[in-house]
Structure 1
């Protein structure tokens, strides 16, 4: 017999017989109507679990990870406010149901069953996934919450303090709100979770406001692996900067009292707290999981005997709030009502085509205040003597710095964050003076953790800020890319556009740093970013382009709510010369603040038709070096700077190369997994133009004199062009 049916029949039998588990007396705090309301939420959560299994068996439902055993989270929701943003564990249906009771006009059973049925009428995911989430309830959707949502919860909590001092235009949370995130005891061991706990402690330890409630739902097991006895308490009871609370999640009265204490501590002290909640897990991990394959039957039955609903019936009886017969009637009526609603929900329409599935990958535009930019007086006061330098050609690093300063002056919600971006001004000086000009709460020196940096950005975006996090080196992104792939870039997709994480991630990267740091500082792979749906990837090659493109990236994030990655070629930061020492030909002037390069606009240098070189970043620089020799050989060239690597500007490329007899793609990334593969496919599929490529080797980059040995060179470009046009070298 399925365990879900066993638990159901045990409940009916034991309540009917008055055979209720022993436990403590109900603590004061809940009124009788409140306690009964929480029990109703618990019953609905349980009924939804049972119904989801029936729906799956009938081929009408597609998700069976349930919340049975974790129904005590209803009391946690009741201790909080619906304006407190909540990032929930996937076993927290009871939390969402109880919160819905706090907000008028909700149809929570109908909404959740639409999600179970993958109906496109599901108000949160539009049929793309079974998720907990609701815009009205301040619950951003999570999919598989194995700790990946904790860093952004830290960021959201940080945003609450920052918004008090600097309210952003699109502020979403009230000043007295807190952030809450929940997770299982097994997830608490994940490195992502540990990083979030450490970041919260590190922040709190320094006295920075961080109103965040961590809720660990400890059922003692992660799928099949048991959590060591008392491990969570031993790990978290005495952490600096993190207040520890413990409650019995089987007892709604105790849970409510302790959750209120924890919530009040977080709300009033503006410090993080850790609520350790005892729970049990009923039915196994999911519908296909058989707990008796890795647990003894006695262990499974012992957990089932501690069914939270049985404890709630006993507590309600002892409190004088509800008789067992009345409790049983509520349970049975809830189960019957859920079945009736499900029978209708499964008939509702579902997504049927690719266009429907993909409709929310790109977030919707939002209304933004349109100003005239900073005044000349404000700019003069900020830049000082730099204003005179703007009339002279400068290297890329300086122009990016000025562009950031202009953007921060114009957009008060723009916040920079990253390792060493403040006092030091960045490893390469790109953010120099910005912290002095705008303050440490807008130019944030973070701790050494890329997941924390990106989580901070995601959380800031949830409260209306425009985050510009910096990843110090491209290779460091691999420590944290799931925060972009699994969290930021997917949020619009899984929320049907109701939530988004607008941001501009600045990444210093690519190769050609002379003899410095090997592959960890010279990283020429963008493959980890290129296949993320909806992500915008920008890569400038000149200082003027960098400033103009950065402004467009900020506009895309602010107005179109896009997640943008801005790749800054480190080797081009200081570049001054193109052909000869001190020729100064790669320096450019700072463009006026209102100039920008729109998404998809490519750069075209020259008008020759013998051959088009399609390239970007350092490849553009090398191609321009090669150009001098090639033109001397009588070859008519045009050099096309992609600028935008995703989405690839296909139509603009095809138009720019239509007159050319050949195409050479110069790609500084590795031959396998590079942009060149997509570009070769584009020209093969859409044109008859012969195409070839010069790429980096499939190798990491060495330290020392061989730093460029595996990378494209001007000589290699020259040789390949001569070969393609049939001219002897």
Structure 2
């Protein structure tokens, strides 16, 4: 087993002796200058791997997954345009270096070494992680992702050729751009990769325009588990809708030539392709990985014999471009340059405080074009027959439908995507008739895959669009939560605010549906959403507030580049009445544009000594309970609708409670891990003592008559309130 320094010594000795790796002559097409540039990028990448491990031994570097063996990704970079967006595998330092070498003003060695040492001067993450990425190189940052970047790469590619109807506005990707997405052979087995590639093939099969190049770097092993020989080829070379290319990834000339063919196919045909490159992995998975514990010394030595740098040196020497001494001189000169820059990077400043670290969680505000001026005639035409009903009381589902219609009229960069939202109009009719009015380009039916729905939105947001994806039910978001947690919410953080993916994710959820579907359709758990840094969670309780909050959510995404999950209580979609049948007290006319629900502000009704704090269905029940408390027990209440569940509007909540002597928190979600726990803690910290909470049980929701047995009820709110006040029921 060789460590990085031993591998370096072996490589030098073999280059000095002209003992290059044995292989084919390679295909034509690569210019002499490009071949030398690729070789230089390979040398930089190899020395960076060695130096990173040495820095780690000295406590100066902290993350050492390297690129040794994958250096011919520099040849793939050569085949692409420098403004083709690239979502990179963590072993692709050579790709980024080669691209940087072709972009004037770039300093790849300095940039990467500042990242290795976690310096606050690191130009991509500001010292938050060792990541590949660069704004100027069109490389969004990636950490050690296991295929989770593939769905958003599909989305970015789709956004380039967005169908008719969506206004492109100012977007970074040119109309003839393509997207490259790279990953390892082990990652190709991950469900996220399978879903993204399936989505691309599904689109390609349907003839949709999707200019994406998947690049699988097949080194035959995933950390310690071998990939079966022939598995990648067998899995992907016959997929309908996906053109397959194969190249020897050890041979720079072959890798470039085949990559060039694949790139031209994608660019000209606007169809997805899969480039399969066979490679080797030199050194362990990372600096802390002793590969001798799971690989034989013979296998390790065999891979070292196939060192891609020795293959490139042979190909250049055999073509008479440079001789062996000149190649070795380049290798040594690059090594000395890396050492000198590393010494400087190791003493540069680091992040020093929580404030510094957290600064990029929330993206920077941006200037945006004003909303389109929609004439009354145009608006009336879009509403059609429903225009006559706009001043009549309506339930939440209908008001949300009209709000989405207005938003599509006002903001041409908005598009909707989700399962069944087009022709069907959504399971609950919230998007009804929108596709007929705005075409399929702006209201898009997706395939059944939540990861792909969110990935498409994330990627399109990279390219300047404002997506409003829909997840059909709250329980289904668990199929794709890493797209929010690991990809969307981390983008600003790991790029120091340089890359953003603003969007509003509509999710139908919560419980109280009468006997419908059990826990997959009645889901009352928000824990997975509330602990994601930077994510905003909104939850309206009435149709009037739903419109105002959706408008505010779109403003947050457009102007402040935020990611908002807009949680819509299914049980309140079509609820019209509050106390008696036909009272229409929970319906409202479509609110005027001046009615707002500012982010971070609660809604309040009344000023009684008992404050009842809730949201969603709980707030609806609290209104019912309030009348009982006032009429039967003479207890005045202060009803508070949280509206914004993450981050919690604590200051606004405390102000709304005001002089109320008792506070009851009603949480329709489970007792453990949900909103009420945090509210109780905040109330206690604020010095409030007479507080109580009523929650759902820690249980899934059943189907049938017992659908609400584990949930708070109007009667339970009254009983708990009386107990808090020391009164008998």
Q: CA deviation at 1:593?
A: 3.4
Check conservation: 2:141, 2:494, Cα contact below 8 A.
yes
Equivalent residues in 2 for 1:277-316, closer than 5 Å: 277-316=277-316
Deviations, residues 109-157 of structure 1 (Å, cap 9, x unaligned) = 0011000010000000000000000000000001122110000011111
1:711 matches 2:718: no
Hey, what's the Cα distance between the residues in 1 that align with 2:550 and 2:585?
22
SS in 2 for 1:216: strand
Equivalent residues in 2 for 1:406-445, closer than 5 Å: 406-445=406-445
SS in 2 for 1:706: helix
Q: What is residue 627 of structure 1 aligned with on the other side?
A: 626
Hey, what's the Cα distance between the residues in 2 that align with 1:180 and 1:448?
24
1:80 matches 2:80: yes
* Structure 2: gaps spanning 5 or more residues: none
Equivalent residues in 2 for 1:610-621, closer than 5 Å: 610-621=609-620
Q: CA deviation at 1:377?
A: 1.8
1:665 matches 2:649: no
Check conservation: 1:199, 1:447, Cα contact below 8 A.
yes
Hey, what's the Cα distance between the residues in 1 that align with 2:274 and 2:44?
27
Check conservation: 2:165, 2:441, Cα contact below 8 A.
no
Hey, what's the Cα distance between the residues in 1 that align with 2:659 and 2:499?
44
Q: What is residue 118 of structure 2 aligned with on the other side?
A: 118
SS in 2 for 1:506: strand
Deviations, residues 698-725 of structure 1 (Å, cap 9, x unaligned) = 0000000000000000000000111111
Hey, what's the Cα distance between the residues in 2 that align with 1:165 and 1:247?
39
Check conservation: 2:166, 2:415, Cα contact below 8 A.
no
Hey, what's the Cα distance between the residues in 2 that align with 1:72 and 1:384?
58
1:258 matches 2:252: no
Q: CA deviation at 1:2?
A: 4.3
Q: What is residue 562 of structure 1 aligned with on the other side?
A: 562
Instruction: Normalising by structure 2, report the TM-score.
Output: 0.99
SS in 1 for 2:162: helix
Q: CA deviation at 1:172?
A: 1.4
1:726 matches 2:723: no
Q: CA deviation at 1:371?
A: 3.6
Q: CA deviation at 1:291?
A: 1.0
Q: More displaced, 27-36 or 712-721?
A: 27-36
Check conservation: 2:166, 2:414, Cα contact below 8 A.
no
Q: What is residue 23 of structure 1 aligned with on the other side?
A: 23
Equivalent residues in 2 for 1:532-551, closer than 5 Å: 532-551=532-551
Q: What is residue 318 of structure 1 aligned with on the other side?
A: 318
Instruction: Give the aligned length.
Output: 728
Q: CA deviation at 1:596?
A: 2.6
Q: More displaced, 587-596 or 404-413?
A: 587-596
Equivalent residues in 2 for 1:22-41, closer than 5 Å: 22-41=22-41
> Deviating runs (4+, > 3 A) in structure 1?
163-167
Check conservation: 1:26, 1:319, Cα contact below 8 A.
no
1:189 matches 2:189: yes
Q: What is residue 674 of structure 2 aligned with on the other side?
A: 674
1:496 matches 2:467: no
Equivalent residues in 2 for 1:291-690, closer than 5 Å: 291-371=291-371, 373-608=373-608, 610-632=609-631, 633-690=633-690
Q: CA deviation at 1:353?
A: 0.5
Equivalent residues in 2 for 1:167-246, closer than 5 Å: 167-246=167-246
Deviations, residues 220-279 of structure 1 (Å, cap 9, x unaligned) = 000000000111011111110000001111111111100000000000000000000011
Check conservation: 1:163, 1:171, Cα contact below 8 A.
no
Hey, what's the Cα distance between the residues in 1 that align with 2:174 and 2:625?
57
Q: CA deviation at 1:625?
A: 0.7
Hey, what's the Cα distance between the residues in 2 that align with 1:81 and 1:436?
38
Hey, what's the Cα distance between the residues in 2 that align with 1:392 and 1:237?
58
Check conservation: 1:163, 1:175, Cα contact below 8 A.
no
Q: What is residue 132 of structure 1 aligned with on the other side?
A: 132
Relative distance call for 1:372 and 1:227 in structure 2 (3 A) is closer
SS in 1 for 2:217: strand
SS in 2 for 1:124: coil
Hey, what's the Cα distance between the residues in 1 that align with 2:550 and 2:702?
31
Deviations, residues 268-300 of structure 1 (Å, cap 9, x unaligned) = 000000000011000110001111110110000
SS in 2 for 1:701: coil
Instruction: Normalising by structure 1, report the TM-score.
Output: 0.99
Deviations, residues 468-493 of structure 1 (Å, cap 9, x unaligned) = 00000000000000000000000000
SS in 2 for 1:451: helix
Check conservation: 1:170, 1:465, Cα contact below 8 A.
no
Q: CA deviation at 1:168?
A: 2.5
* Structure 1: gaps spanning 5 or more residues: none
Q: CA deviation at 1:10?
A: 1.3
Check conservation: 2:372, 2:411, Cα contact below 8 A.
no
Q: CA deviation at 1:688?
A: 2.7
SS in 1 for 2:708: coil
Deviations, residues 46-88 of structure 1 (Å, cap 9, x unaligned) = 0100010111011111111000000010000000011110000
SS in 2 for 1:384: helix
Q: What is residue 148 of structure 2 aligned with on the other side?
A: 148
